[in-house]
Amino acid sequence: MKILFLDQSGKPGGAELCLIDIAKPYRDSCLVGLFADGSFRNLLEQQHIPVQVLATEPIQVRKESSFAQGLGSVSSLMPLIARVVRKAREYDLIYANTQKALVVGAIASFLSRRPLVYHLHDILSLDHFSRTNLSIAVTLANAQASLVIANSKASKMAFVKAGGREQITEVVYNGFEPELYRIDQSSSSQLKQQLGLDGRFLVGHFSRLSPWKGQHILLEALVRCPEDVTALFVGDALFGEQDYVQLLHKRVAELGIEERVRFLGFRSDIVPLMNACDLVAHTSTAPEPFGRVIVEAMLCGRPVVAAEAGGAIELVEPDITGFLIPPGDPTRLAEIIISCRNQPLHAATIAHQAQSQASQCFDLTTVNQQIEKLLYRIVKGK
Ligand code: UDP
């Protein structure tokens, strides 16, 4: 099966990391077409997945764009669409991995007469998107996609609620290779030492820096915790949220917790870093479509606390495989941190249960088989 994957991003967010895993089995017969250059291209090349940057200029439309801005950018997309149409004729299927890829992919699918699959990694609601962008996504998916792969039941529900066709939508969770997350603990202890964090109770937050990812909630929780509790922020502002980064640093200074906070920026060595943490916190203030970091923490055998909304609810069974807190609630977060710090055996039992359950439920081989079956059905026209 020859697949033309499309993704708008040059930077590796969760959707892009998921695409690497999906594209790997097709590396001899696929192409990943990007609409921007960046480190995501390098990651694909490292995995020997054919990749090409198809856009010659950045696409201006943003998640919150108005209808007029949207229309304006469609005309600027014409050269890109023409390129994608030509490419698509060499492939059996177009696989759009992001919203802008859906826009380009839908038009290219119509013109090249190739079926379109849309991998939905977002909760299509007004929390995340403008009304215009929301209706463009739903209208194009309904009109042109043969299949919508939703990354959680929550993403599917939001799509259907926004008017998306339920009959074409299947839920497929992200897949992971559990063995990659089980590492020798000594390398993590070393890493903790190198970071000068020995003896601290380390709460890790692994996410791009963005207001809705709620890094500020962890800062507010920290001041309600004993002095040895320290926060490790791993991730960068991938989509220009520099104001938020400044706000976080300002808040750290205001709270006088400079010694208890580390910002590491974007890192590729997530596994040893997660293993060095005593607890992993997910603090999104808006519903998370899936939440890869939650599953990754589980696979590392680290206890995880997540904000109870969206896909996170499907990943965490409260007090069995992790902890759930109301979104945006630093007091409740602090309580969970303190209880994990004071009762490490209980936290370890939960983390152990989560590790074995996550290894079964999110196994990449099974997920890729599921996707292959769905794609074959589309290509064979059944
Ligand atoms: N991640 C990473 N380096 C970082 C921060 C995050 O590789 O410095 C990865 C993280 O391990 C996860 C992904 O980025 O696999 C984020 O996915 P998630 O679903 O949690 O959030 P999204 O970015 O899709 O909103």
Q: Measured in angstroms, how far is the CA atom of residue 266 from the centroid of ligand 1?
A: 9
pLDDT in tens, 283-305: 999 999 999 999 999 999 999 99
Q: Please work out, in degrees rounded to the nearest 5, the angle formed at the alpha carbon of residue 330 by the alpha carbons of 329 and 332.
A: 70
pLDDT value at 85 more than 70: yes
CB 333 within 8 A of CB 279: no
> How far, in Å, CA of 150 to CA of 154, rounded?
8
Q: How far is CA 137 from CA 24, 101, 160, 271, in A?
A: 27, 10, 12, 34
| pLDDT at residue 69 in the model | 63
Q: Do domains 3-175+363-380 and 178-361 have the same CATH topology?
A: yes
The amino acid present at 293, given as its one-letter code, is V
Across the beta sheet with 201-206, the strand order is: 261-265, 229-234, 201-206, 279-281, 304-307, 323-325
Domain ranges within the chain, ordered by starting residue: 3-175+363-380, 178-361
> How far, in Å, CA of 262 to CA of 253, rounded?
12
Q: Measured in angstroms, how far is the CA atom of residue 89 from the centroid of ligand 1?
A: 33
Q: Which fold has domain 178-361?
A: Rossmann fold (3.40.50)
**Which residue is closest in CA terms to ligand 1's atom 10?**
293
> What CATH class is the domain 3-175+363-380?
alpha beta
State mean pLDDT over 191-213. 95
CB 351 within 8 A of CB 343: no
The CA-based dihedral angle spanning residues 25, 142, 160, 309, taken in that order and rounded to the nearest 10 degrees: 50
Mutation choice for ligand 1 from 8, 42, 208, 273, CB with most ligand atoms inside 8 A = 208
Ligand 1 in contact with 206 (CB < 6 A)? yes
Ligand 1 in contact with 322 (CB < 6 A)? no
Is 56 or 351 the better-scoring residue by pLDDT? Answer: 351
Task: Say what percent of the chain tops pLDDT 90.
Answer: 88
Ligand 1 in contact with 15 (CB < 6 A)? yes
Q: Please work out, in degrees rounded to the nearest 5, the angle formed at the alpha carbon of residue 188 by the alpha carbons of 183 and 194.
A: 155
Ligand 1 atom nearest to 236, measured from its CA = 8
Ligand 1 in contact with 33 (CB < 6 A)? no
Q: Measured in angstroms, how far is the CA atom of residue 207 from the centroid of ligand 1?
A: 5
| Per-state percent for the chain, helix, strand, coil, to nearest 5 | 50, 15, 35
Q: Measured in angstroms, how far is the CA atom of residue 293 from the centroid of ligand 1?
A: 6
> How far, in Å, CA of 53 to CA of 73, rounded?
18
Query: Measured over all CA atoms, what is the biggest interatomic distance in the chain, rounded to whole angstroms?
Result: 62
Ligand 1 in contact with 310 (CB < 6 A)? no
pLDDT in tens, 218-249: 999 999 999 999 999 999 997 788 999 999 99
| pLDDT at residue 185 in the model | 85
Ligand 1 in contact with 234 (CB < 6 A)? yes
DSSP classification of residue 57: S
Residue 30's H or E segment, with its range, is strand 30-34
Q: Measured in angstroms, how far is the CA atom of residue 348 from the centroid of ligand 1?
A: 23
Q: Measured in angstroms, how far is the CA atom of residue 110 from the centroid of ligand 1?
A: 33
Q: Measured in angstroms, how far is the CA atom of residue 83 from the centroid of ligand 1?
A: 30
CB 12 within 8 A of CB 40: yes
Look at the alpha carbons of 122, 124, 125, 129 in this order and tell me if their dihedral is positive or negative: positive
**Which residue is closest in CA terms to ligand 1's atom 7?**
268
Q: Measured in angstroms, how far is the CA atom of residue 36 from the centroid of ligand 1?
A: 19
Beta bridge partners of 268: none
Pairing of strands 261-265, 279-281: unpaired
Please state which of the ranges 5-19, 69-83, 209-223, 365-379 shows the lowest mean pLDDT.
69-83
pTM of the shown model: 0.95
Task: Say what percent of the chain tops pLDDT 70.
Answer: 95
pLDDT value at 58 more than 70: no
- Residue in the structure block whose two tokens are 């149409």: 85
pLDDT value at 114 more than 70: yes
Ligand 1 atom nearest to 274, measured from its CA = 11
What is the number of residues in the chain? 382
Q: Measured in angstroms, how far is the CA atom of residue 64 from the centroid of ligand 1?
A: 22
The amino acid present at 168, given as its one-letter code, is I
Ligand 1 in contact with 13 (CB < 6 A)? yes
Give the residue among 155, 198, 206 at the shortest CA–CA distance from 315. 155
| pLDDT at residue 241 in the model | 87
| pLDDT at residue 188 in the model | 87
